[in-house]
């Protein structure tokens, strides 16, 4: 089965949804949509043995062969891991949405079309081996996520959040495209695999650092790294299934995938290591600190997602240090790449369950405001159990998968202090310190989410709805994810061998060639290592701060909102909007004459600049025919007719002069022995003059006597400039013919190929048949329009006469 076709399977299925939606209205559309991710997940799961042995799969579909652009689907350990997350979590989200979204009140056909479109986009991003097709799918994720976030488009906040996410992620996508173009120029290929193979030769290229920064901008904006994270909290206005899918398991992971995929190319640069690791850790702390400021359940999860994405990003940056260590097998840098992928899996599982629980609480109580919640433990015991499992895993407590990935994270951060390149031996101590601080706040906001929602005093008077447990169908998906959270803790090396190690090879191909070489064994107990004492410190300090949270949480009230990044974004959007309106008001005058001046002025500037700056102007008289007296007389008549058109005060005189110009051109065709063209010109001019006379007859009479157009110097300059430009271009084109004239081709083929004896007729009917057809169509439409206008005017006159 073609991997490329599998990528497009969801979007093909989306085309059928409008039909199914109308035909089987009694059945929830989600049941039909669920089949698609289940089929894809089942197929991708069968490829696990292939990647476990270090193998890959690929297929290709030509797109634009002339530009060497094609859809190349490439499955290795890394892309297979993401494909399983996209389809597996996707299936659970679809199942959850069946019970979450009411088919009688929601436009389900739109929702599932957008969701399947996004699934195709994400599969394309993680499987594309061609940079241009990867960019195509990358921007499709932005468009489809815009539609999903703005699904409830009647809400102002939904529209605002959708626009904000699109503005920021599309900006990053354009920057990333620039980096891709530079990479293509550097390696003379757009294949990611070929670029990875050339990585040692690309380091010294003059475009290397530019490509590095531009690609990181794309990754940071999509994965909500500081300072671009501000779109993610506003995207929480989307329905909860969208948040559970896009903002925990898929879309926000696209930037992480990009960094992981391009690490083999840019890992040799110290700038890559500092930017990815440093910004990742800063984002982790920033997101974890501000998660405790939030009062909305999904907002808490949004900032926790920002924090967790920063954690994984820092690990990917640390993994690049392994490229600079000679004895990589004897160092702990292998833990960084392993920890990044392992925590990525853990995060997708526990955060997906937590988003679904937040949706359940909102669905069954009518609010997500944590100040109104509390005491739901006994009313919603299953939801509380799922939330506790997910939160404890996010906090890094034992018996849950997050504990193991947090331990490997701390190991990787401690190892950075051993790295003696790029000034890490001096500043490396900051990394484990910052990681520890971020982990403390992660512990606090995890407990804040679960206990302030389900523990404490129940406040039914503040709830819009009477709280009760969710329907069983809505609990199935988060329950499955909760079971996986616990299972990962007890069988971590199964997950590591099947999924994580094959992905590590893709991140560090110069260190490992087979999964068995990644000799990382996960265990809950490592002895009395520094990581253990850091973990105990996290639990102790985090527990103390959570216990006293209500006392010091008020400090957030003193945070100046006026200097926030959101205010900066809003101010920037206001300036761009108001500035665009002011600038538009300058040139959008409403007069066609003004617009023609802009267009013709730009045409003159570009054409003359290109003509003389490239030394393309030529004027040669060797191949010109002699000019006879008849040509001079006809040319003088033509020029006189043009001057009469411009200078005449009478409309009738201008029309007659216009006809004289056309007939003069026909006489030129007669002299040049082109009777067919001359006859055509005469017919066209006769019809045109008649139509002009008919049109002008019905125009309103002038109310001013001796009306005369004022002379406009600017218009005269533009008119003269266009005339001079076209004259110079025509002379230059005639004086330097690079290619042979196409007339020779017509002479040779008009009889043998087209079967005609009259070359002009054959050109018009055969060689330019469609052009002629379109010209006739345009004239026909114009004629119909004129007739309609005349009839309308006549009918108005009759109505006025009857009213009198």
* pLDDT attached to residue 25: 66
CA atoms within 13 A on the CB side of 514: 4
Percent of the chain with pLDDT over 90: 52
* pLDDT attached to residue 207: 94
Nearest Cα residue to 98 out of 17, 27, 30: 30
Residue 138 CA, distance from chain mean position: 5
Considering the domain boundaries, does residue 365 fall inside one?
Answer: yes
Cα–Cα distance, 273 to 259 (Å, whole number): 11
* pLDDT attached to residue 562: 66
Given a cut of 80, whether residue 551 has pLDDT beyond it is: yes
DSSP code of residue 457 = -
* pLDDT attached to residue 757: 77
- In this structure, what token pair is assigned to residue 18? 């409008």
CA atoms within 13 A on the CB side of 693: 12
* pLDDT attached to residue 422: 67
* pLDDT attached to residue 289: 94
Give pLDDT tens digits for 595-634: 888 999 999 999 999 888 888 888 877 777 788 888 889 9
Least-confidence region, from 143-152, 269-278, 287-296, 505-514: 505-514
Domain end, chosen from 494, 516, 547, is at 547
What DSSP string describes 328-383?
Answer: GGGSSTHHHHHHHHHHHHHHHHHHHHHHHHHHHHHHHHS--BTTT----TTTSHHH
The residue that leads in pLDDT, 597 or 756, is: 597
Nearest Cα residue to 432 out of 417, 415, 413, 419: 413
Nearest Cα residue to 524 out of 401, 435, 348, 442: 401
The residue that leads in pLDDT, 608 or 649, is: 608
* pLDDT attached to residue 590: 83
Beta strand ranges found along 187-252 (DSSP E)? none
- In this structure, what token pair is assigned to residue 379? 């009313």
Nearest Cα residue to 329 out of 510, 456, 174: 510
What DSSP string describes 760-787?
Answer: HHHIIIIITHHHHHHHHHHHHHHHHHHH
Give pLDDT tens digits for 555-574: 888 877 767 888 888 888 88
Given a cut of 50, whether residue 330 has pLDDT beyond it is: no
**Stretch 521-530: mean pLDDT, rounded?**
83
**Stretch 169-182: mean pLDDT, rounded?**
96
Given a cut of 60, whether residue 329 has pLDDT beyond it is: no
Cα–Cα distance, 337 to 630 (Å, whole number): 85
Q: Reduced to 3 states, what is the DSSP secondary structure of residue 71?
A: strand
Considering the domain boundaries, does residue 91 fall inside one?
Answer: yes
- pLDDT mean across residues, the chain: 88
* pLDDT attached to residue 674: 80
Cα–Cα distance, 590 to 612 (Å, whole number): 34
* pLDDT attached to residue 421: 66
Considering the domain boundaries, does residue 570 fall inside one?
Answer: no
Give pLDDT tens digits for 184-233: 999 999 999 999 999 989 988 999 999 999 999 999 999 999 999 999 99
Q: How many CB atoms lie within 10 A of CB 200?
A: 10
Which residues, in sequence order, are bridge partners of residue 369? 296
Considering the domain boundaries, does residue 374 fall inside one?
Answer: yes
- In this structure, what token pair is assigned to residue 753? 């190929």
Domain that holds residue 298: 3-547
Considering the domain boundaries, does residue 646 fall inside one?
Answer: no
Q: Reduced to 3 states, what is the DSSP secondary structure of residue 59?
A: strand
Given a cut of 60, whether residue 704 has pLDDT beyond it is: no
DSSP H helix total and E strand total for the chain: 35, 2
**Burial call 643-669: b when 16+ CB within 10 Å, e when fewer:** ebbeebeeeeebbbbbbbbbbbbbbbb
- In this structure, what token pair is assigned to residue 459? 């406040």
Residue 100 CA, distance from chain mean position: 28
The residue that leads in pLDDT, 357 or 334, is: 357
Domain end, chosen from 525, 547, 569, is at 547
Nearest Cα residue to 277 out of 421, 488, 135: 421
Considering the domain boundaries, does residue 672 fall inside one?
Answer: no
Considering the domain boundaries, does residue 329 fall inside one?
Answer: yes
Domain count, the chain: 2
Q: How confident is the model at residue 584 (pLDDT cuts 50, 70, 90)?
A: confident
* pLDDT attached to residue 626: 80
Q: How confident is the model at residue 744 (pLDDT cuts 50, 70, 90)?
A: confident
Domain end, chosen from 520, 547, 574, is at 547
CA atoms within 13 A on the CB side of 781: 6
Under a CB-based contact definition with an 8 Å cutoff, are residues 41 and 87 in contact?
A: yes
Given a cut of 80, whether residue 243 has pLDDT beyond it is: yes
* pLDDT attached to residue 282: 95
Considering the domain boundaries, does residue 499 fall inside one?
Answer: yes
Give pLDDT tens digits for 710-719: 777 888 899 8
Place of tokens 């790295």: 419
């Amino acid at each position: 089965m073609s991997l490329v076709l599998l990528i497009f399977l969801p979007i093909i299925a989306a085309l059928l949804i409008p039909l199914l939606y109308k035909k089987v209205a009694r059945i929830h559309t989600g049941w039909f949509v669920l089949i698609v991710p289940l089929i894809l997940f089942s197929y991708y799961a069968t490829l696990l043995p292939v990647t476990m042995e270090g193998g890959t799969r690929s297929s290709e579909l030509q797109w634009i062969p002339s530009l060497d652009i094609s859809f190349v689907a490439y499955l290795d350990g890394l892309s297979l891991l993401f494909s399983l997350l996209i389809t597996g979590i996707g299936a659970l989200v679809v199942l959850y949405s069946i019970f979450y979204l009411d088919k009688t009140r929601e436009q389900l056909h739109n929702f599932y079309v957008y969701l399947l479109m996004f699934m195709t986009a994400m599969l394309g991003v993680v499987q594309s081996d061609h940079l241009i097709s990867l960019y195509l799918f990358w921007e499709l994720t932005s468009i489809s996520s815009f539609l999903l976030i703005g699904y409830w488009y009647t809400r102002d906040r939904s529209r605002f959040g959708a626009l904000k996410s699109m503005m920021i992620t599309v900006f990053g996508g354009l920057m990333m495209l620039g980096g891709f173009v530079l990479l293509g120029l550097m390696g003379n290929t757009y294949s990611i695999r070929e670029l990875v193979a050339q990585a040692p030769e690309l380091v010294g290229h003059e475009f290397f650092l530019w490509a590095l920064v531009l690609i990181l901008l794309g990754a940071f904006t999509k994965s909500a790294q500081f300072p671009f994270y501000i779109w993610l909290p506003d995207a929480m206005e989307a329905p909860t299934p969208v948040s559970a899918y896009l903002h925990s398991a898929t879309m926000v992971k696209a930037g992480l995938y990009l960094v992981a995929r391009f690490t083999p190319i840019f890992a040799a640069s110290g700038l890559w290591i500092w930017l990815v690791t440093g910004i990742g850790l800063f984002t982790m702390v920033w997101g974890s600190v501000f998660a405790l400021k939030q009062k909305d359940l999904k907002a808490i999860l949004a900032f926790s997602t920002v924090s967790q994405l920063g954690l994984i990003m820092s690990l990917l940056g640390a993994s690049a240090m392994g490229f600079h260590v000679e004895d990589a097998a004897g160092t702990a840098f292998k833990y960084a790449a392993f920890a990044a992928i392992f925590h990525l899996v853990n995060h997708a599982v526990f955060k997906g369950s937590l988003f679904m629980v937040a949706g359940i609480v909102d669905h069954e109580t009518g609010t997500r405001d944590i100040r109104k919640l509390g005491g739901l433990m006994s009313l919603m015991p299953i939801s509380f159990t799922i939330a506790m499992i997910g939160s404890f895993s996010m906090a890094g407590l034992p018996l849950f998968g997050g504990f193991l990935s947090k331990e490997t994270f701390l190991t990787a951060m401690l190892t950075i202090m051993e790295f003696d390149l790029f000034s890490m031996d001096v500043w490396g101590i900051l990394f484990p310190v910052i990681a520890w601080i971020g982990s403390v706040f992660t512990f606090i906001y995890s407990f804040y989410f679960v206990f302030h929602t389900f523990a404490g005093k129940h406040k039914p008077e503040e709830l819009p709805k009477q709280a009760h447990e969710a329907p069983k169908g809505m609990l199935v998906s988060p329950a499955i994810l909760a079971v996986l959270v616990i299972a990962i803790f007890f069988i971590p090396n199964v997950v590591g061998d099947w999924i994580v190690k094959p992905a590590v090879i893709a991140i560090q191909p110069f260190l490992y060639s087979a999964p068995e070489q990644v000799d990382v064994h996960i265990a809950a107990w490592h002895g009395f290592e520094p990581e253990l004492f850091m973990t105990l410190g996290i639990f102790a300090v985090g527990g103390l701060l959570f216990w006293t949270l209500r006392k010091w949480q008020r400090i957030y009230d003193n945070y100046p909102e006026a200097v926030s990044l959101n205010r900066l974004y809003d101010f920037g959007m206001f300036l761009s909007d108001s500035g665009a309106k002011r600038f538009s008001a300058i040139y959008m005058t409403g007069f066609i004459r003004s617009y023609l001046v802009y267009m013709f002025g730009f045409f003159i500037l570009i054409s003359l600049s290109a003509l003389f700056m490239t030394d393309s102007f030529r004027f040669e008289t060797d191949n010109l025919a002699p000019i006879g007296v008849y040509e001079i007389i006809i040319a003088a008549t033509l020029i006189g007719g043009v001057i009469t058109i411009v200078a005449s005060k009478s409309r009738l005189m201008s029309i007659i002069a216009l006809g004289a110009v056309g007939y003069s051109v026909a006489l030129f065709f007669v002299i040049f022995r082109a009777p067919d063209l001359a006859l055509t010109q005469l017919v066209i001019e006769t019809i045109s003059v008649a139509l002009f006379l008919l049109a002008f007859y019905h125009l309103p009479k002038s109310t001013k006597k001796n009306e005369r157009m004022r002379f406009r110097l600017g218009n005269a300059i533009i008119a003269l400039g266009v005339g001079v430009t076209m004259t110079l271009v025509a002379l230059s084109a005639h004086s330097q013919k690079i290619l042979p004239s196409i007339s020779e081709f017509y002479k040779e083929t008009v009889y043998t190929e087209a079967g005609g004896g009259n070359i002009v007729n054959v050109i018009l009917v055969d060689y330019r048949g469609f052009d002629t057809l379109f010209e006739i169509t345009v004239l026909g439409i114009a004629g119909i329009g004129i007739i309609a206008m005349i009839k309308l005017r006549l009918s108005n006159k009759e109505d006025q006469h009857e009213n009198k």
